Amino acid sequence: MSRFIVGRALQSLLSLFVVSLVVFYAARLTGDPTVLMLSEMATKEEAAQLRAHLGLDKPITTQYALFLKQAAQGDLGESTRYHRPVTDVLTARFPASLQLGSVAIVISILIALPIGVYSAVHRGTALDVAGRLFAVLGQSLPLFWLGLILILIFAVWFGWLPAAGRGGPANFILPAVTMGWATTPAIMRLTRSSMLEVLESEYVKLARIKGLPEWKVVWKHALKNALLPVVTFSVLLFAEMIAGAIVTETVFAWPGVGQLLISSVNTRDFPMVQATVLLLASLFVLGNFGVDVLYAWLNPKIRYAR
């Protein structure tokens, strides 16, 4: 098992190294960051001086080597926009994404699980059709529109909730529901198909033959076994949710890393782009790593497979 873990860990590190290389070079293909850092009235000499100060006049391979050397010491550089260490900026912004993502995934699971279970148990009925229609709606409604509609109804018309911004528990509700809406159908569908498979298994049939109440058969025996793929999928979905939250963050003025990444790309803040992409990539890599290890622990065949 430990050999398996070490192997997976090395693969994860290699993935991150490749990501750092790609994002470093890709960011620099977008052009000269001094164009936006300086006003239109700046002179050519100022631009040249600033480029030299930022080390952008060096060959790109030299720049990357320097970046790696500093990164190895825990220094991911200074944001050319915020003029502070990128880790400081991420430390300020990432918790906001993490908190919102956590609430959103919990809401998503709380809605998706019951619908998925009922759909599976009442397969082919109106309830099942309703559940699947909900899934279609969830995946086709644009988040941007949904977010604004929720603000209009719950904040402007009824005045029940704050319209935007980070704050107390009430501030989480609308953005988390919006964010969770996108992932709920996927979790619901997976729950349904997983439950359908489990409900056909021998031990479930045995539980019914033994005379157990149906609710116990479904919620205690079947769901427990159907949950594994749902949980592992949700972990990956969580990482994706945080990385892709730009629309929700923009609509609700939520100071997360999604907005940070987009604004960093727009302003050509290379160190910030690199650090943010690496952080988000790490989430995915960590998520995958965790899932792999969990599966290997549960199913020894996987860890010995070549």
Partner 1 sequence: MTSIMKRILLIFCAAWLTSASSGALAAPEGTIVIGLSSLGAEDWLVPARPQANAIAIIPVFDTLLQRDDKTGQPAPGLATKWEQSKDGKTWTFDLRPGVKFHDGSDFTAEDVKFSYEVALRPDSTSDMKGVFTNFVQSVEVVSPTRVVFHMKQPNWEILYKFLEVPPFFPIVSKKYFDKVGWQEAGRKPVGTGPYKFVEHKLGEYVKLEANENWWKGAPRAKTIIIRGIPEEATRVALLQTGEINLAPVGSDSLAKVKSAGLKIIRMQNLMQMVVGLEGQYLPDREGYDPKVPWAQPDKAKALKVRQALSLAINRQEIVNKVLQGMGTVEGSAGIQSFPGMPGFDPSLKVDPYDPERAKKLLAEAGYPDPSKISIIVDSTPHAARPTNSAVAQAVALYWRNIGIDVKERTSDYANLMDQGIKRKLAGVVWVYPTPAFDEPVMQLYTVTYSKARTQLFAEYPELDALLEKTVSEMDQNKRWELQKETAKWMNEHEIAIPICYADMLWAASPKFEWTSLPGQVTVGYLNNVDTMYLAK
Q: What is the contact surface with partner 1 in residues (CB under 8 A)? A: 30-33, 35-47, 49-50, 53, 81-84, 89, 92-93, 96, 148, 151-152, 155-156, 159, 162-166, 250-253, 255, 259-260, 263, 266-268
Return the number of the residue (4 or 82) whose C-beta is nearest partner 1. Answer: 82
Residue type, 6: V
Minimum separation from the CB atom of position 284 to partner 1 (A): 23
The distance from CA 180 to its chain's CA centroid, rounded to whole angstroms, is 11
Return the number of the residue (47 or 130) whose C-beta is nearest partner 1. Answer: 47
Give the Cα separation of 242 and 69 in Å (integer). Answer: 28
The distance from CA 241 to its chain's CA centroid, rounded to whole angstroms, is 3
Q: Which of 119, 153, 152, 157 is nearest to 136 (CA)?
A: 119
Burial of 282 (0-12, 13-18, 19+ CB in 10 A): middle
The dihedrals phi and psi of 213, each to the nearest 5 degrees, come to -60, 145
Minimum separation from the CB atom of position 167 to partner 1 (A): 9
Minimum separation from the CB atom of position 103 to partner 1 (A): 18
Give the Cα separation of 98 and 257 in Å (integer). Answer: 9
Minimum separation from the CB atom of position 210 to partner 1 (A): 56
Map residue 165 onto helix, strand or coil: coil
Minimum separation from the CB atom of position 226 to partner 1 (A): 39
Give the Cα separation of 49 and 3 in Å (integer). Answer: 51
Minimum separation from the CB atom of position 275 to partner 1 (A): 14
Return the number of the residue (223 or 273) whose C-beta is nearest partner 1. Answer: 273
Beta-ladder partners of 78: 85
Return the number of the residue (165 or 300) whose C-beta is nearest partner 1. Answer: 165
Return the number of the residue (78 or 292) whose C-beta is nearest partner 1. Answer: 78
Tokens of 220: 């205690």
Return the number of the residue (60 or 170) whose C-beta is nearest partner 1. Answer: 170
Q: Which of 190, 283, 178, 191 is nearest to 236 (CA)?
A: 283
